[in-house]
Amino acid sequence: MPERLADHTTLRLGGPAERWVRATTEDELVAAVSEADAAGRPVLVLGGGSNLVVADDGFPGTVVEVATGGIVPDVDVDGGDPAAAASCGGVMVTVAAGEAWDDLVAHAVGRGWAGVEALSGIPGSVGATPVQNVGAYGQEVSQTIASVRVWDRVLRGVRTFANADCRFGYRTSRFKADPGRHVVLSVTFQLRVGTLGQPVAYAELARALGVEVGQRAALGDVREAVLGLRRGKGMVLDAADPDTWSAGSFFTNPVVDPALVPDGAPAWPQPDGQAKTSAAWLIEHAGFGRGHGPERGHLRVSLSTKHTLALTNRGGATTADLLALAREVRDGVDRRFGIRLVNEPVLVGCEL
């Protein structure tokens, strides 16, 4: 029986893969991708499947599942003097692409490494985080990534990109802009050493912690507060809760001419003079509330009942069902506000 992508994606959608390789070492990962490339076979590099929408027809090529492991700090501060490490600019931690992102965050918080605590609870693998510059609650991985080591499928060699060369932006990077070219092998993070997190940069999180924006809180408290907020929005995976059978936020927050931001909608100024507004606000104000779907004939998919930005599989759905709902929401927002929402997850073999 061929492996089905539906068994490897958080949306629980996607047909069979023609070929499947699970790579547990870096050598296996590079070999699997290189062999498929040499044979002219399409390749899909798969992490945790939490940002993927795969066609019902499946994938006509090799899925390479990244299952490598290892979290290696340059200075092992356990039992040593954290202050000494901190005075040298913190700890540099090199992490294999296949490590689960939230395991790394838990490990960092437990060790007293600050800088990723607000990114608690995000599903998926470490190797995927630089691809869309994962972010939440005022932090982005680009703030702590020192470098990204990749297999370059065009140059057929290993390369290391320093942070400044990754072209990080809001939910984007050079890896996202040049899809499929770079297979992330490992990521090196530079983290501060201490008991307090980075200054809290998000009002909702600051309120939950009882601090002001810009103040610090204990690392463990930040992690717990973020997990609590995320659970309330169905943004922590839970096999028993279909509100989490999603790809997280389905649309990115649009960045537009400030004049286009509707009255009453949030407008966050951007360095280039544009304004970022809230996709969730636009969706709600275009008439799509939480749980939207069944009343419009979408029987097996709906917006999450906890968060309008997540499109969810209520059980037994197909990718075609999900895309029909996504189109309805995107086109409804466009008609109402003249702003075209763009999908955040990667679409494989299908389009909106």
Ligand X SMILES: Cc1cc2nc3c(=O)[nH]c(=O)nc-3n(C[C@H](O)[C@H](O)[C@H](O)COP(=O)(O)OP(=O)(O)OC[C@H]3O[C@@H](n4cnc5c(N)ncnc54)[C@H](O)[C@@H]3O)c2cc1C
For residues 255 and 199, what is the distance between their CA atoms, to the nearest angstrom?
25
Residue 237 in the binding site for ligand X (CB under 6 A):
yes
**Is 280 one of the binding residues for ligand X (CB under 6 A)?**
no
Residue 138 burial (CB count, 10 A): 19
How many residues lie near ligand X (CB under 6 A)? Answer: 34
Nearest approach, Cβ of 89 to ligand X (angstroms)? 26
47 binds ligand X per the rule CB under 6 A: yes
Stated length of the chain: 352
Near ligand X in 124-153, by CB under 6 A? 124-125, 127-129, 131-132, 134-136
Active site (annotated) includes residue 204: no
Say which of 22, 167, 171, 231 is annotated catalytic.
171
Site for ligand X (CB under 6 A): which residue of 32, 54, 183, 261? 183
By beta-carbon proximity to ligand X, the closer residue of 187 and 206 is 187
- Smallest distance from the beta carbon of 235 to ligand X, in angstroms? 4
Tell me the chain's radius of gyration from C-alpha atoms.
Answer: 20
Structure tokens at 269: 């100024």
Strand partners, 196: 218
Q: What angle do CA 45, 125, 2 make, to 5 degrees?
A: 45
| 249 in active site | yes
Of the candidates 52, 27, 300, the one whose C-alpha atom is nearest the C-alpha of residue 17 is 52
What single-letter amino acid sits at 300? R
Q: Is 48 near ligand X (CB under 6 A)?
A: yes
Nearer CB in complex with ligand X: 112/147: 147
**93, 147, 107, 103: which is closest to 125 by C-alpha?**
103
Instruction: Tell me the closest approach of the beta carbon of residue 130 to ligand X, in angstroms.
Output: 8
CB nearer ligand X, residue 68 or residue 277: 68
- Cα-Cα-Cα-Cα dihedral sign, residues 178, 179, 181, 185: positive
DSSP of 196-220: B-SPP--HHHHHHHTS-TT---BHH
CB neighbourhood size of 268 (10 A): 12
The region of 47-55, 72-80, 211-219, 263-271 touching ligand X under the rule CB under 6 A is 47-55
Identify which range of 180-188, 199-207, 280-288, 330-338 contacts ligand X by CB under 6 A.
Answer: 180-188
Residue 78 C-beta: closest distance to ligand X, Å: 27
* Cα atoms found within 13 Å of the Cα of residue 220, Cβ hemisphere only: 4
What would the two tokens of residue 4 be? 């089905």
Instruction: Note whether 288 and 304 are within 8 A (CB).
Output: no
Does residue 5 interact with ligand X by CB under 6 A? no
Quick one: which segment of 75-83, 240-248, 271-279, 281-289 binds ligand X (CB under 6 A)?
A: 240-248
173 contributes a contact to ligand X by CB under 6 A: no
Is 153 labeled as catalytic in the residue annotation? no
Q: Does 66 interact with ligand X (rule: CB under 6 A)?
A: yes
Residue 223 beta carbon to ligand X: minimum distance, rounded to whole angstroms: 14
Residue 208, interface with ligand X (CB under 6 A)? Answer: no
Are 225 and 241 in contact, with CB atoms under 8 Å apart? no
Report residue 323 CA to chain centroid gap.
19
> DSSP 3-state assignment of 48?
coil
Output the six-digit token pair for 274.
């544009």
Among 139, 143, 190, 246, binds ligand X (CB under 6 A): 246
Per CB under 6 A, the list member of 248, 254, 293, 349 interacting with ligand X is 248
Lookup: tokens for 221: 């408290």
Q: If binding is defined by CB under 6 A, does position 49 make contact with ligand X?
A: yes
Q: Does 45 bind ligand X (CB under 6 A)?
A: yes
**Sites of contact with ligand X (CB under 6 A):** 10, 44-52, 66, 97, 122-125, 127-129, 131-132, 134-136, 182-184, 235, 237, 244, 246-248, 346
Catalytic residues: 171, 249, 344
